[in-house]
Amino acid sequence: MTGNEILSSASALMGFKTPTSEMNEIALTVINSVLEDIAKPPLTSLSTAAEGLCQNEEQACLYGTALLLSIAIGDLRSKECFSPIYNEKRGRVKRSKSYVTDALPKGELL
């Protein structure tokens, strides 16, 4: 799925037939923010394909892009709609396990 396809699908979810010029200007930044959130490499351009996305990652990318675009254009109704959907889709993305160890700070605290 290319960046242009992600943008077109996300704008369609928002109710637009085609992305607006404002959406086109910020699309790469928005898509890369979502890809970073789901631990995938960023796109270099909108014509570049986001490779290696499973179905859950594609859905998270589409709804995350729609969410961030709606925030950017000030569409609060769409933001409220896409926020819980994106969080649910993002939660289904498999991530590598990371472990946090308890540690006390060394040195003076004050």
pLDDT at 100 over 60: no
pLDDT (mean) for 39-49: 93
pLDDT-derived band at 35, boundaries 50, 70, 90: very high
pLDDT-derived band at 52, boundaries 50, 70, 90: confident
Phi, psi of 2 (to 5 degrees): -85, 165
pLDDT (mean) for 76-93: 92
Specify the pTM. 0.83
Quote the CA–CA distance of 19 and 83 in Å, as a whole number.
20
Quote the CA–CA distance of 80 and 92 in Å, as a whole number.
20
pLDDT (mean) for 76-81: 91
Quote the CA–CA distance of 73 and 11 in Å, as a whole number.
11
Quote the CA–CA distance of 31 and 66 in Å, as a whole number.
9
What SS3 state is found at 63? helix
Domain boundaries, the chain: 3-91
Check residue 94 and give its pLDDT.
Answer: 81
Sign for the pseudo-dihedral over CA of 67, 69, 70, 71: positive
Angle (CA) 41 43 47, round 5°: 145
